[in-house]
Structure 1
Amino acid sequence: MSDSTTYRPEGIADEFTEGGTAREAPASGTGPTLPALGWRGTLRWTWRQLTSMRVALMLLMLLAVAAVPGSILPQRPQDPAAVLTYLADHPTAGEWLDRLGFFDVYSSVWFSAIYLLLFVSLVGCIVPRTVAHARAVRARPPRTPARFERFPARAEGTTSASPDEVADAVAAHLRGRLSWLPTFRVDTGAEEPRPARGTVPARPATRTVAAERGYLRETGNLVFHLALLGLLVSVALGQLMHYRGQAIVTEGRGFANAVVDYDTFESGAWFSPSSLVPFSMTLDRFESQFATDTVAFAQARDFTAFVTVTEPGGEQRAETIKVNEPLQVDGSKIYLQGNGFAPEITVHDAEGQVAFAGRVPFLPEDTMYTSRGVVKVPDVSPGLEQLGLVGYFLPTAVVEADGSARSVFPQPTDPLLVLEVYRGDLGLDEGVPQNVYRLDTANLTPSVDADGERVKVLLRPGETAELPDGLGTVTLAQDVPRYVALDLRHDPSLGWVLTFSLLALGGLAVSLFTPRRRVWVRSWTEPDAEGAGGAAVTRVEVAGLARGDDAGLQDEVDRALAAVPGARTATDTTTEG
């Protein structure tokens, strides 16, 4: 053995030659000198890593993980009040989460970076594959191999038809009946006579058929990724251009399609208020149906809102809105999200001045429509305290012996309004936004009776009751109107999202269920049969190859042989003998 410093693995010369002259081996202790990667090489390597499929899959999973905080933590564009509450309850963690953008996840820098990297990765991965696939589709099927013995699926037979007839019949079978949607791409040819070589016998001139199918597999794969790319673009544009508003509308009243007319409104970064179509809508009446039988008592059967829509040109039309049957107006859909009662309440202060008058929506809390509401009464006369009334509206009330009340049916057959009275500073003058459906009683004093129990004011439609402690009076109007909660949504990307989703599903199905197969057929006339003066016999060999496991490959080969006119397999010959 040579010295370890000059040892080369077996099969590799121990010296380097250039032009026939021996060149000395590298000096001891020095290895091969690798070229410097350079900034261009670094960029090329980074690009290849970014556009690889494994990185695209990693980014897709990372995007799904990054979206999780958006569904767990309150988001500022959707619910700013909940964000303020979270920050107050978690001052330290909330401050850091706010700095990192966790309260506006989908507009944060890190989420946008993942989104853009995934977009670039998909584009860089798809474009080269599309070009390569387009070249492969135009290419001819692979030529017929010299030996069929090594293929996993084979079939042999004989026929009285000529090799040309065999090639034409098999080619027609493999192409399929629909010329515009061929099963196989087929190429027919001929081979020159082959002399005997070693143990391989001689073979006369042959006709060959080379066929290949399964390019739709890669086509489906590309369609899936292109659809995924289109889905990403559609969702991104939808988030930038969408808008959504919620409004509570009582019977006989309506709203206009303007930002200031919605109770809550959110929109994308590219939204412009001037893009809103100036239509208006009035709620004429609301009808609800509930079961009265003992089996499904008080279960909801139907909700219908009868509305009148006024177009920008002044044209009016009557429409209905049901649950899961939204009203579509100029590309926007208006959904019926909820309903309830909005009793009309009037409060006079101790001086007799009207301190509050209006319809107050009460939010249902159970199936019997036991509804909770709040009335905030500002101070009208100088020196008087502000009032807060909180309580329940019971559509069909039953008063128990202990003075408590409950609702036993959702329809307003025997309404009752139960209120508790608070006085003090409501915080209306501090400029801080408040929830109109909640009353902060921290700085308020409840009205109590001689026993220290909170005073409850009971009102039926058309009645007026005195408030405790001489605070004034409260009146409930005779009619109790209904209200509906409407949700208007406009997202121009929904149609594209559906289209690309269906394309992705179709492309994935084609990619998964399309087999990739190659079939070769060789046919020639046996020279011995012609030399014996008998009828010429054509021998046919068929071989098949699949990419991966394919249980149907042998059946494909057998069908190709069966397409040969008058084909006789070795099994047929043995059976006849």
Structure 2
Amino acid sequence: MTVVEDRPVTAEPPPPRRVNPVWALLRNSWRQLTSMRTALILLFLLAVAAVPGSIFPQRSVNRENVSEYFTAHPKLAPALDRFFAFDVYSSPWFAAIYLLLFTSLIGCVLPRLRDHIRALRTVPPEAPKRMDRLPQHAAGLVGPEGPAETAESIARTLRRKWFRTRVRELPDGGWAISAEKGFLKETGNLIFHIAMLSVLVGVGFGHWYGWHGNRLLVGGNDQGFCNAITQYDDSALGPQLDASDLPNFCMKLTDFEATYQSTGQPKSFNATVAVTEDDGPAKIRSFTVNDPLRLKHANVHLLGQGYAPELKYTDRYGISQTKVVPFLPVDGMLTSEGVAQFADVNIDPKTNNRDEKLQVGFEGVFLPTGDTDGSARSQFPALNNPVLYLTAYRGDLGLDVGIPGSVYALDRDQIDSGALKKLGGDRPYALKQGEKLTLDDGTTLEFVGVREFATLSIRYDPTQFLLLIGSVLGLVGLMLSLAVHRRRVWFRVLPAAGGAAGSSVIEAGGLPRTDYPGFGDEFAALTRSYKEGTP
């Protein structure tokens, strides 16, 4: 007979749970990305990444400045261009930081929003048993009424001070009041982060669906323009737009008024334009520097002003051409530089052939208030004594080769190669309004008059209102998060010793949830009335 020994059966420990390393890596990466520290680092990186956009000229703002940078730095510019130095805000690395910051903020805000809503729905916790261990404590306070009445009076006072309160009855016949205040601090934090998200969304959609263009608009009915890409001096459309999406409007500069102080500093600018929208009737509108012209789907901003001399050239065959040529200001007194090019002149009427070597160009300086001593600087920005200093050139202007160039300067390569030769001596010709210049071949140039021009920036941002709301909410949220402090107070009301009717003993404690130097004074104010023995 076999005897089997009875032994206790022990349960086998469960095998260790295998963790998927890929899932663990993704989970830890997500936690790091959505942390507040990462969001702050990404925000700092975004600010640093935007610095090159303010150092180097951007194609989206002014392609001409980018071309000039390539000409001035032929070796450095191509190397910088490989790193998107001239397209910073549309570069892959800027977009990567932008999207990571957007993702980080979403992953940071949503859990905090969930926890905040849960905290708002949770009642204040019960009073701790040892309130003497709290940072603020008061014992032996006297209530002039019974425990129930005193507890209700304390709760009523706390509610008037915007505390969330909860009154509980204790088993020993006493009452406990729990109160909490300062949830607006976390609300402000959430509002600030949501505002940042709205700003990021607004900037992104504004870039996709917005557009802008710059236009130098000369006064006069013959110098108007309509809203088309070809009509702008410089323009940029959002990636989701094309030229056919631009709104339909036309504009003419009918008047421009500028006033100056005695020192020449600008005092006021006012532009008056005739605007037609959607083929409707023309309307006269006025706008200033800080008050843009608001159209249906565009805002017209006044950036600056200048002068455009009106020049009349009469060629050797007696045929005249008149051009209104804007001269760009180079100083605060509106000393201006510019070029007048007459390519289609000196054409033989018998053969109708044009000799490229007989093209004429004039470059020089315009002074709205010239000095009698012949100085090449204007003395005042207003049209008090307009003087035009010009240097004449004859030859091939280089306009027929198909290479884009500046309309405010002659082609220096043509001058250096001798294809464009200077006429006259080393001193430029000086003309006042109404005077005429006669060249060596009998052709003339007359300084007919001066018109004013306005430099306009025409923009449309469909998310402009969202950016405004986001900025205001961000400021409000930041103020709340800095000004509001989270704290809790508790009161325990017990019957007076000996069971005397109509009186009670109060113990109070307070705990600031955040750094709040003024909490001691606030706690003393809450308990002062009971120290004095009054309700």
Task: Report the CA distance shift for 1:367/1:69 in structure 2 as closer, same or farther (over 3 A).
Answer: closer
State the AA in 2 paired with 1:307. Answer: V
Distance 2:396 2:422 in 1: 14
Change (3 A) 1:408 1:556: closer
What residue in structure 2 maps to residue 167 of structure 1? Answer: 151
Residue in 2 aligned with 1:153? 136
2:86 and 2:142 map into 1 onto residues whose CA distance is: 76
Which string of whole-angstrom CA distances, capped at 9 and with x for unpartnered residues, describes residues 499-524 of structure 1? 11111111111111111111100011
* Structure-to-structure mapping, 1:544-559, within 5 angstroms: 544-559=510-525
Q: What is the aligned partner in structure 1 of residue 389 from structure 2?
A: 418
On the 8 A contact 1:345/1:357 being kept in 2, the answer is yes
Q: Name the structure 2 match of 1:460.
A: 432
Match of residue 394 from structure 1: 367
| Aligned counterpart for 2:405 among listed residues 414, 434, 437 | 434
- In the alignment, the residues of structure 2 paired with residue 366 and residue 335 of structure 1 have an alpha-carbon distance, to the nearest angstrom, of 21
Q: Is the 8 A contact 2:62 2:234 kept in 1?
A: no
Change in Cα spacing, 1:429 to 1:251, as seen in structure 2 (3 Å) is: same
Q: Secondary structure at the match of 1:318?
A: strand
Deviation at 1:456, TM superposition (A): 2.3
Identity rate, percent: 40
Change (3 A) 1:563 1:134: farther
The question of 1:512 aligning with 2:454 is answered no
Aligned-partner Cα distance in 1 for 2:254–2:503: 90
- Segment of structure 1 superposing worse, 63-72 or 555-564: 555-564
Off by >6 Å, runs of 4+ in structure 1: 18-23
> Would you say 1:276 and 2:246 are equivalent positions?
yes
Q: Does the 8 Å contact 2:60/2:236 carry over to 1?
A: yes
| Partners of 1:420 and 1:505 in 2: CA distance | 57
The answer to whether the Cα contact below 8 Å between 2:485 and 2:515 also exists between their aligned partners in 1 is no
Once the two structures are superposed, the pairs formed by residues 118-267 of structure 1 within 5 Å of their partners are 118-156=101-139, 157-176=141-160, 183-193=162-172, 205-253=173-221, 254-267=224-237
1:45-64 maps to which residues of 2 (within 5 A)? Answer: 45-64=28-47
Report whether the alignment pairs 1:38 with 2:21.
yes
- 1:376 aligned to 2:346? no
> Following the alignment from structure 1 to structure 2, what is the Cα–Cα distance between the partners of residues 301 and 82?
29
Counterpart secondary structure, 1:481? strand
User: Residues of 2 paired with 1:100 and 1:297: CA distance?
Assistant: 46
Instruction: Map 1:76-155; keep pairs closer than 5 Å.
Output: 76-155=59-138
Deviation per CA, 1:274-325: give whole Å up to 9, x if none.
332212222222222234xxxx343333222222222324223222122212
User: SS of the counterpart of 1:443?
Assistant: helix
Of the three residues 430, 436, 447, the one matched with 2:422 is 447
Cα distance in 2 for residues equivalent to 1:556 and 1:419: 79
CA distance in 2, matches of 1:404, 1:529: 104
**Residue 324 of structure 1 is aligned with which of 287, 290, 293?**
290
The alpha carbon displacement at 1:76 in A equals 1.6
Distance 2:57 2:83 in 1: 14
**8 Å Cα contact 2:485/2:514 also seen in 1:** no
1:536, distance to aligned residue in structure 2 (A): 5.4
Change (3 A) 1:415 1:527: closer
Which secondary structure does the structure 1 equivalent of 2:131 belong to? coil
Structure 1 range deviating more: 340-349 or 143-152: 340-349
Alpha-carbon spacing, 1:119–1:514, altered in 2? closer, same or farther (3 Å):
same
Residue type of the alignment partner of 1:395: P
Distance in 2 between residues matched to 1:143 and 1:404, nearest whole Å = 87
Structure-2 change in CA distance of 1:441 and 1:93 (3 Å): closer
2:468 maps to which residue? Answer: 498
Q: What's the CA shift string for 1:149-172, capped at 9, x where partnerless?
A: 111111231123111011101111
**Cα pair distance change 1:64/1:298, threshold 3 Å:** closer
Query: Any unmatched runs of 5+ in structure 1?
Result: 1-17, 24-31, 178-182, 194-204, 570-577
CA contact (8 A) 2:365 2:376 kept: no
- 8 Å CA contact 1:166–1:565 kept in 2: the answer is no
Post-superposition Cα deviations, 1:450-495, rounded to whole Å, max 9, x if no partner, equal: xxx4242232323322124x27321222x32222222212112221
- Are residues 63 and 75 of structure 1, via their aligned partners in 2, closer, same or farther at CA, if it must alter by over 3 Å? same
Deviation string, structure 1 residues 32-63 (Cα, Å, up to 9, x no partner): 99955421111111111111111111111111
CA contact (8 A) 2:329 2:337 kept: yes
State the Cα deviation string for residues 411-443 of structure 1 (Å, max 9, x = none).
333322221112343321221211111223343
Greater shift after overlay, 418-427 or 558-567?
Answer: 558-567
Q: Find the counterpart in structure 1 of residue 351 from structure 2.
A: none
- Asked if the contact 1:160/1:566 (under 8 Å) is kept, the reply is no
> CA shift at 1:328, angstroms?
1.0
Structure of larger gyration radius = 1
Going from structure 1 to structure 2, the CA distance change for 1:19 and 1:57 (only over 3 Å counts) comes to farther
For the residue of structure 1 that corresponds to 2:165, the secondary structure is strand
3-state SS in 2 of match to 1:511: helix
Task: Quote the RMSD (CA, aligned, Å).
Answer: 2.7
SS, match of residue 483 in structure 1: strand
The 3 A distance-change label for structure 1 pair 396 and 125 is closer
CA contact (8 A) 1:163 1:523 kept: yes
Q: Which amino acid aligns with 1:169?
A: S
Q: Distance in 2 between matches of 1:412 and 1:536?
A: 92
